Copies of this chain bind each other. A is one copy, B any other.
Amino acid sequence: MEAPTDRPHVVIIGSGFGGLFAARALAGDDVAITMIAATSHHLFQPLLYQVATGILSQGEIAPSTREVLAGQRNVSVVLGEVTGIDLDARTVTAEVLDDTFTTAYDQLIVAAGAAQSWFGHDEFAEFAPGMKTIDDALELRGRIFGAYELAEVAAREGRTEDLAGLMTFVVVGAGPTGVEMAGQLVELSKRTLKHDFRFIHPGDARIILLDAGRAVLGSFHPSLQAKTKAALEELGVQVRLGAMVTGVDETGITVTEKHPDGSTSEERITAVTKVWAAGVAASPLAKQLAGQVGLDVDRSGRIPVQPDLSLPGHPEVHVIGDMASLDKLPGVAQVAIQGARHAAAEIRAGLAGEPTGARFTYHDKGSMATISRFAAIAEIGRIRLTGFIAWLAWLAVHLVYIIGFKSRLTTLISWLVSFVGRGRAERTITSQQVFGRRAIQRLGRLDSER
């Protein structure tokens, strides 16, 4: 274990919105900050779907955390997966490759976020990858563009029986990510790939958006839900609500639909490409912490925190973002960002000998989702925007939160090219991804590859 520092040591777990904004909020304070994260990048999750559909490169939404924080001299970054927190000893243990790293903290901010959840059906993951990491996005990119490649060969050889499955894309979960994914799959098939093939018509692709609930964008106002559903159907997306996924395999998906009259029916949809944008589960660290303070995590694995975001009996530990459960706060970036600033303020107050324990109040800055190019919906307090104006708002907000001048500039160019034009600059399929790995295995080249 490393030597303690002379200044108060603040350990931050996670490099997402919560972790990064917590570190930045403490930039001016006389503390030594150590950020420990399992990835070396800060991921701008809301745009992951654009990496999956070839609009953006991974670097544009996943800048190096160290590069972002390079100028902040009071923070040091450690690449490592936190495996243990000892609240009594006040230590954090992380692992990276063969190394185990343990450090003591005076103040701890836990912001390890949430991962995809297949609702207890992890066996679905192989066939319906999630949308939570850069690897997920590259994996889906390979599968989506790969499906069209296979369809072209099938059509050319007259294997029409394979075509339907290859040209059907199912998105599970009609939250913002699912809606944006479905919308982009339409853009791909109807615009981007329009002239790319000779034996198939990409525009014929079937895009299905499933949700077990009764509405798309469940967290939005009913009028926006209706407008979004109508807009998606206008684009040609088959929106299937009240449809629960009961099976997923390599060639398709099984859904059980609950009908308004209470009856149910089961259906098998043949689809090679499935995207899972349904559930999330908080980092297992939440359960580990809960156990140490005698609490239970909620259904999503989140730990119930005090009104000031601290752990009961541990004012030196704050849990923020997707790992924390408080007042039914939604799992969005703004909750993590504002929670980070609150935790930072609490730590600052404590170090100054001022009273702490201030209640965290969330200021809802509104939420938005894109449906397709030039079309989005936004809800800011009582204001509800749709269509092009909402899309402009989406554009502005996202450009502001993208980190780094270069990424902002190239992202803007990528958007111009993709939305005004029809190009997709980032369609590369890496053979590291499952699609490619399977191909390589078939070709018996895996060994020679490495």
Taking Cβ atoms with an 8 Å cutoff, the residues of A that contact B are: 2, 39-41, 54, 57-60, 62-64, 66-67, 70-71, 76-81, 83, 95-99, 101, 122, 125-126, 129, 133-135, 138-139, 145-146, 149-150, 152-154, 156-159, 195-199, 404, 406-407, 409-410, 413-414, 417, 421, 423-434, 436, 438-439, 442-443, 445, 447-450
Complex CA gap A154/B79 in Å reads 11
In the complex, chain B residues whose CB is within 8 Å of the CB of A58: 57, 426, 428, 430
Complex CA gap A407/B54 in Å reads 13
Most chain B CB within 10 A, of A39, A407, A417, A428, is at A428
Q: List 20 A-B contacts (CB under 8 A).
A: A2-B157, A57-B426, A58-B426, A59-B425, A59-B426, A62-B428, A63-B427, A64-B424, A67-B196, A70-B196, A76-B152, A76-B198, A78-B156, A96-B150, A96-B442, A122-B447, A139-B450, A406-B417, A410-B413, A432-B432
Which residue on chain B has the smallest CB distance to residue A193? B66
In the complex, chain B residues whose CB is within 8 Å of the CB of A439: 81, 96-97
Chain B nearest CB from A368 CB (Å) reads: 26
Whether A83 and B425, one on each chain, are in contact in the complex, defined by CB atoms closer than 8 angstroms, is no
Copies in the complex: 2
Which residue on chain B has the smallest CB distance to residue A75? B198
Whether A425 and B442, one on each chain, are in contact in the complex, defined by CB atoms closer than 8 angstroms, is no
Complex CA gap A142/B445 in Å reads 22
Chain B nearest CB from A46 CB (Å) reads: 17
Closest 10 CB pairs of A and B: A57-B57, A59-B426, A76-B198, A432-B432, A79-B149, A66-B196, A64-B427, A70-B195, A58-B428, A406-B417
Q: A78-B153, A81-B445 are in contact. List 20 more A-B contacts (CB 8 A).
A: A2-B157, A39-B431, A41-B428, A57-B57, A60-B425, A64-B428, A66-B197, A76-B197, A79-B149, A81-B443, A96-B153, A97-B439, A99-B154, A134-B430, A135-B436, A138-B432, A406-B414, A406-B417, A409-B413, A432-B433
Which residue on chain B has the smallest CB distance to residue A59? B426
Complex CA gap A427/B42 in Å reads 11
Complex CA gap A447/B195 in Å reads 39
Complex CA gap A71/B40 in Å reads 40
Whether B432 and A135, one on each chain, are in contact in the complex, defined by CB atoms closer than 8 angstroms, is yes
Chain B nearest CB from A413 CB (Å) reads: 6
Which residue on chain B has the smallest CB distance to residue A195? B70
Chain B nearest CB from A358 CB (Å) reads: 31
Most chain B CB within 10 A, of A96, A153, A443, is at A153
Whether A59 and B430, one on each chain, are in contact in the complex, defined by CB atoms closer than 8 angstroms, is no
Chain B nearest CB from A245 CB (Å) reads: 17
In the complex, chain B residues whose CB is within 8 Å of the CB of A129: 450
Whether B97 and A150, one on each chain, are in contact in the complex, defined by CB atoms closer than 8 angstroms, is yes
In the complex, chain B residues whose CB is within 8 Å of the CB of A436: 135
Which residue on chain B has the smallest CB distance to residue A158? B2
- Option from B77, B404, B417 in Cβ contact (under 8 Å) with A425: B404
Complex CA gap A156/B76 in Å reads 10
Whether A424 and B67, one on each chain, are in contact in the complex, defined by CB atoms closer than 8 angstroms, is yes
In the complex, chain B residues whose CB is within 8 Å of the CB of A449: 135
Whether A407 and B432, one on each chain, are in contact in the complex, defined by CB atoms closer than 8 angstroms, is no
Whether B76 and A199, one on each chain, are in contact in the complex, defined by CB atoms closer than 8 angstroms, is yes
Whether A153 and B427, one on each chain, are in contact in the complex, defined by CB atoms closer than 8 angstroms, is no
Most chain B CB within 10 A, of A139, A417, A429, is at A429
Complex CA gap A450/B431 in Å reads 16
Chain B nearest CB from A64 CB (Å) reads: 4
Complex CA gap A71/B197 in Å reads 10
In the complex, chain B residues whose CB is within 8 Å of the CB of A442: 95-98
Chain B nearest CB from A163 CB (Å) reads: 12
A95-B442, A428-B41, A429-B40 known; A410+B414 contact, CB < 8 A:
yes
